[in-house]
Structure 1
Amino acid sequence: MRYFYLAIGFVAFGLGIVGAFLPVLPTAPFLLVASFGFAKGSEKFDRWFKSTKLYKNNLESFEKNRSMTMKTKVKILAFATIMLSIVFFKYEILPMRIMIAVLLLLKYYYFLGVVKTTEQS
């Protein structure tokens, strides 16, 4: 299982790197998955990952303080809203539309109401 978690960590880390340069691909969710994979897979890789600039710029404040900058929140919410809206308007399946609307409301409640906002450092 250790190698499986490390593989997840490296794939997610790679996608996080791509997401740092492409505005349509979110960085933070992939880095959260990478953090989980490295933490489960290897203490050495977990320490390495947490020393990277990518981790420090995107996840360090969230992991330590359970808070994010408003810029990070907006990026995550904008990407999720766009992707879910495409599906919402493409298909006319009422139960699916209700589920997407509820999911969007919960995401906005969580990110804007539960997760604390910190100043840009």
Structure 2
Amino acid sequence: MKIVWIIFGTISLSLGIIGAFLPILPTTPFLLLTAYCYGKGSEKFHSRLVSSKIYKKYIKECVQERSMTLKQKLILLLFVSFMSITFMIIYQNILIRSILSLVILGHLLFFGFYVKTKNKRFFLNS
């Protein structure tokens, strides 16, 4: 099972790195997923990720302080909502639509009430 976590972590890391260069993909959620997957799959991979520059730049503060800038929150929530709504349109199944609606609601509640908002201006690069 550990190999599955490492594979998912590597895919997520690849998407996160691509997201660092493409504005359409959010970097932070993919790197958070990578840290989680590597934490489950391999201590070696996890420690390499935590000591990397990309981790320190994008998610170190998010993990340690459980806080994000407003810009990071909005990009993440827009991406998750966009992807969920896209699948809701594609799949006409009421169960799938209900589950995806709960996912959107869960993200809004989690990032709205649990994750603190850092005190940075919205238009500054963060």
Q: TM-score, normalised by structure 2?
A: 0.75
Residues in 2 aligned to 1:2 and 1:108: alpha-carbon distance in whole angstroms: 31
Do the aligned partners of residues 90 and 7 (structure 1) sit closer, same or farther apart at CA in structure 2, a change above 3 Å counting? Answer: closer
d(CA) in 2 for partners of 1:64 and 1:97?
Answer: 34
Q: Quick one: distance in 1 between partners of 2:116 and 2:28?
A: 16
Q: Report sequence identity in percent.
A: 32
Matched, 1:52 2:67: no
List alignment gaps of at least 5 residues for structure 1. Answer: none
Where do 5+ consecutive residues of structure 2 fail to align?
121-125
Q: 1:97 to 1:47 in 2, by over 3 A?
A: closer
Q: Measure how far apart 1:2 and its partner are.
A: 6.2
Worse-matched range after superposition: 18-27 or 58-67: 18-27
Partner of 1:42: 43
Moved runs in structure 1, 4+ residues, more than 4 A?
A: 1-8
Residues 36 and 19 of structure 1: CA distance in aligned 2, closer, same or farther (over 3 Å): same
Deviations 1:58-84 (A, max 9, x none): 211121111111111111111111111
- In the TM superposition, what is the alpha-carbon distance from 1:117 to its structure 2 partner? 1.0
| Aligned CA distance change for structure 1 residues 4 and 67 (closer, same or farther; 3 Å) | same
TM-score (norm 1): 0.77
- Aligned equivalents of 1:78 and 1:98: distance in 2? 18
